[in-house]
Amino acid sequence: MYRESTHHEELQIEVQAEPAYVKEESRPDDRYFFFSYTIRIKNTGDVPAKLVSRHWIITDGTGTVREVKGEGVIGQQPRLAPGESYEYTSFCPLPTPTGNMRGSYLMVTDDGKTFEVKIPLFFLRDLGSLH
């Protein structure tokens, strides 16, 4: 499990990432490696905050970088009160058996203050294909 905490005044958000290789969805002979990742976002601060957008930086095993930006996560923009958590699972196909992901979420408080929350760098690996 990978973990990152972002602190900004009374705001504090913890993000945990747990990646997994999905063998049954992968086709190594076609250079298609399928990974899932589960993200848990917890508001450990004192004020509510809403996740409004995401920015991912995805690097495959050859060093090729792809960026993905968009609203919310999996079609949702969760609002987290202090102590609340939100968890979702998504996926990332790569042309290589290894890679990594990192990024950030843009969050906004009820009074309109925005802040960036770091997503920890985490590694995507098909351990069965590594020698």
The CATH number linked to 20 is 2.60.40.1470
In a domain, 130, yes or no: no
Residue 48 within a domain: yes
Domain extent at residue 23: 2-125
Residue 77 placed within a domain: yes
Q: Is residue 53 part of a domain?
A: yes
Overall domain count for the chain: 1
- Assess if residue 131 is contained within a domain: no
With tokens 């699972």, the residue in question is: 89
Model confidence, pTM: 0.93
Examine residue 121 and state whether it is found in any structural domain, yes or no.
yes
pLDDT of the chain along its 131 residues, tens only? Answer: 999 999 988 889 999 999 999 999 999 999 999 999 999 999 999 999 999 999 999 999 999 999 999 999 999 999 999 999 999 999 999 999 999 999 999 999 999 999 999 999 999 999 776 65
Quote the strand ranges of the chain, DSSP E: 2-8, 11-21, 33-43, 49-60, 65-71, 79-80, 85-94, 98-109, 114-125
